Amino acid sequence: MRRVYFDNNATTPVLPEVFEAMQPYFGEYFGNASSIHHHGQETRAAVERARESVAALLGCRPSEVVFTSGGTEGDNLAIFGLAQAGDHVVTSTIEHHAVLNSCKHLEAAGCEVTYVPVDDRCLVDPDDVRRALRPNTKLITIMMANNETGVLQPVEEIAKVAAEADVYFHSDGVQAAGKVPIDVMRIGCDLLSISGHKMHAPQGVGALYVRKGTILQPMLYGGSHERSRRAGTENVPGIVGLGKAAELAREALERGDLAKMGAVRDRIQQTLLGAVEATGVNGDGAPRVPNTTNMYFDYIEGEALVIALDLKGLAVSTGAACSSGAIEPSHVLTAMGLRPDRARASLRFSLGKQNTPEDVEFALGVVPSTVARLRELSPVYNKTAVSH
């Protein structure tokens, strides 16, 4: 059966070049990067080369890159590394759970948190962030790109708000890295987390940009790895993979590959809007990363559509999966003010570098007919049809 993967915001396949770069570090080069002998020196050099590559992608100094196990750890390290009991933190209602649940935990631990809303295009208003500031505000943490809608937040303006108030600004850049250029100097943020597996590196590796001079309370205690900001023997193959993926991402951005991907995404959107009635784009009109579109198909349950499409070979997603694998209503779409039924009727298509024009044709062929079958069997759709 032909299988097409349009869920690249969940995870991406490791690119062949990345896999190839990693392979020697499972056997030939196996040293502990902290060891003083030859074996350690080889892997130390590889880790530092990767650090340079990630720094080049983010526009920072290599010494400002801390390798982590992924986006969740980066977000946690930034938040718990800075906020202490009595501090106030500003975040938004559309953050990833790695940030939202960290903030909930902060509240339980004696911090105050303000969750600024978004408008119907999924955008945070920097003025709302400014108004949320208090004398004890320590940190603003607002994502660069939303994982469900792909909407890019006005992080440069938020960084100005933070700088004026002398407050730390962390941005979850997991869904932006590799999809849009990131320059932490231009943005003006103090911390920014990225994840390897969202940009064709393996799962289990990520990085946190920490502006020079920022004192972070570590979350893991042990050796003095990563300048004592993150103890634990380095995941050398993963870090090498992230370094290679960062290099490829930079090249792709320079070549204009992502603009092309944006054109493909737009074509998918336009074709589906034309082929299926009562359909629309969530976050339409806002700047978005070029690989993502989130569309609603009224009168259906997104969950059933995801299953039906999977059985036909197309992998897409809706909402966020809970521990059992069931879909929970999307807090992002709800925060944008979508009606609950429309939030449940929404689907995310997210493209990756590996997708081909044939993949796109396949998806465009299978989605309209599947939506039609679901609607035909939907009690809501039939009731609505009768009442018209």
Per CB under 8 A, does 377 bind another protein?
yes
Rounded least distance, CB 345 to another protein, Å: 13
Among residues 33 and 374, whose Cβ is nearest to another protein?
Answer: 374
Alpha-carbon distance of 168 to 183, in angstroms, equals 17
Length of the chain in terms of residues written: 388
Exactly one of 72, 102, 292, 378 binds another protein (CB under 8 A); that residue is 378
- Smallest separation, CB 369 to another protein (Å): 11
- Please say which residue, 215 or 326, places its beta carbon nearer to another protein: 326
Nearer to another protein, 98 or 374 (CB): 374
Compare residues 27 and 379 and give the one whose CB is closer to another protein.
379
Asked if 1 is part of the footprint of another protein (rule: CB under 8 A), the reply reads: no
Could you give the 3-state DSSP secondary structure of residue 113?
Answer: strand
Q: Is 367 in the site for another protein (CB under 8 A)?
A: no
308 binds another protein (CB under 8 A): yes
Give yes or no: 322 in active site.
yes
Radius of gyration of the chain (CA): 22
Closest CA to 173 of 159, 82, 252: 159
Kindly give the residue spans of alpha helices, DSSP state H, lying in the chain. 16-22, 38-58, 71-82, 97-108, 126-132, 155-165, 184-187, 225-228, 236-255, 257-275, 302-312, 331-335, 340-344, 357-376, 379-387
Virtual CA dihedral for 113, 118, 124, 127, nearest 10 degrees? Answer: -80
Q: How far is the CB of 134 from another protein (least distance, A)?
A: 29
Q: Is 98 left (phi over 0), alpha (psi -120 to 50) or beta?
A: alpha
Q: Does 301 bind another protein (CB under 8 A)?
A: yes
The one among 304, 316, 343, 351 contacting another protein by CB under 8 A: 304
Contact positions with another protein (CB under 8 A) in 323-362? 323-328
CA separation for the pair 230, 34 (Å, rounded) = 13
Shortest distance, CB of residue 130 to another protein, whole angstroms? 34
Q: Which residues ranging from 247 to 276 are in contact with another protein (CB under 8 A)?
A: none
Distance CA 344, CA 300 (A): 8
373 touching another protein, by CB under 8 A: yes
Phi, psi for 171 (deg, rounded to 5): -125, 135
Please state the closest distance from residue 269 (CB atom) to another protein, in A: 24
For another protein, the closer of residues 263 and 385 by Cβ is 385
Q: Which stretch binds another protein (CB under 8 A): 106-114, 161-169, 295-303, 351-359?
A: 295-303
Residues binding another protein: number (CB under 8 A): 21
Yes or no: say if 291 and 179 are a contact pair by the CB < 8 Å rule.
Answer: yes
From the candidates 103, 111, 122, 322, which is the catalytic residue?
Answer: 322
- Asked if 188 contacts 163 with a C-beta cutoff of 8 angstroms, the reply is yes
Nearer to another protein, 270 or 382 (CB): 382
Helix (H, G, I), strand (E, B) or coil at 360: helix
- Report, in Å, the least distance between residue 294 CB and another protein: 19
Catalytic residues: 322
Q: Which residues contact another protein (rule: CB under 8 A)? A: 300-301, 303-305, 307-308, 310-311, 322-328, 373-374, 377-379
